[in-house]
Chain A
Amino acid sequence: MTLASVLFYFFATIAVAGGVLMVTRKNPVHAVLFLVLNFAGVAGVYLVLNAQFIAVVQIIVYAGAIMVLFLFVIMLLKLGGEESVFARQPFVKTLSIVIAALIGAQLTYVFFFAAPDKGTMVDMETGVYPGTVKAIAETLYTKYLLPFEAVGFTLVAATVGALVIGKKKLED
């Protein structure tokens, strides 16, 4: 095993464990913290893929900002543990796991047969360039200039929308 493989399995295990625990925890605060663990694991996988800038942005934006917002909202709404849906409808558990397994299998199938050339290595040395800030800047501000400006408008719309919907006082 090379260093990259070891690191991949390490971070992939963290990501999957975080995801499983997030989905199964009753307490929403614990769920958020396990989702942060999952994001950290995914950031590690990005590093293995040589996507350095995306890895850092993943930590800053997802683990740092979005999850803090989720935590504040959970504490704001003072949510207790939820009653398990399986208590009333046990078949829902089986059904949902079957559906999710089908979707996962379908995705894996599509990935394995639609990949450009099957089984090729992710070449770490030649794969360095697309992950650099330089490569991202040269694509984002030239070829994708219009989507980039559109993102500005989207974020302004989100600011206005969230302020209008959320600004009213929350009475007890």
Chain B
Amino acid sequence: MLTLEHFLTLSAIMFALGVIGVLTRRNAIIVFMSVELMLNSANLAFVAFATKLGDPIGQVFVFFVMAIAAAEAAVGLAIMIAVFRNKKTVNIDEINILKW
């Protein structure tokens, strides 16, 4: 039988995968995608609790998270394009102008 812990463990595994992606990848877009994976794992935890508690608030929050993720993707990728326009790369090891 399925328990709440099944879903929360899946959520934890996905979050850890996102952390691995953020820490090991050098392509800024893939780092960004790993962040999306982590947002998704948070959504999964929200939905699991909403079903467990029989309360739709958790699912409403998933909506807000999705809206913010979409806004973040639109602006973040525009920033990525602007960086590429200036530096000809999105390798985060080479985008180091702040540590001159």
Contacts and interface: CB of A to CB of B under 8 A. Distances in A.
A–B contact, 8 Å CB criterion (strictly below): yes
- Nearest 10 pairs between A and B by C-beta? A104-B16, A158-B71, A96-B23, A166-B78, A111-B8, A107-B12, A135-B56, A165-B78, A130-B56, A19-B17
B39 to A, nearest CB: 9
A130 B17 contact: no
Interface of B: 1-21, 23-27, 29-30, 32-34, 36-37, 40, 43-45, 47-48, 50-60, 62-64, 66-75, 77-82, 84-85, 90-91, 93
A31 B14 contact: no
A65 B44 CA distance: 19
Interface in A17-74: 19-20, 22-23, 28, 31-32, 35, 38-39, 42, 45-46, 48-51, 53-54, 57-58, 61-62, 65-66, 69-70, 73-74
Given A5-B2, A42-B44, A136-B63, A108 B12 contact: yes
B26 A82 contact: yes
B20 A131 contact: no
Contact of A73 (B14, B45, B80): B80
Nearest to B63: A140
Contact of A103 (B15, B63, B78): B15
A39 B36 CA distance: 10
Interface of A: 2, 4-5, 8, 12, 15-16, 19-20, 22-23, 28, 31-32, 35, 38-39, 42, 45-46, 48-51, 53-54, 57-58, 61-62, 65-66, 69-70, 73-74, 76-77, 79, 82-83, 85-86, 92-93, 95-97, 99-101, 103-104, 107-108, 111-112, 115-116, 118-122, 126-127, 129-131, 135-136, 138-140, 143-144, 147, 151, 154-155, 157-159, 161-162, 165-166, 168, 170-171
Dominant SS among interface residues on chain B: helix
A130 B70 contact: no
A4 to B, nearest CB: 6
Contacts of A115: 4-5, 8
A85 B40 contact: no
21 contacts: A23-B24, A35-B36, A45-B44, A49-B7, A62-B36, A73-B77, A73-B80, A73-B81, A85-B24, A96-B20, A104-B15, A107-B8, A119-B3, A121-B2, A127-B54, A155-B67, A158-B72, A162-B77, A166-B77, A170-B81, A170-B84
A162 B80 CA distance: 11
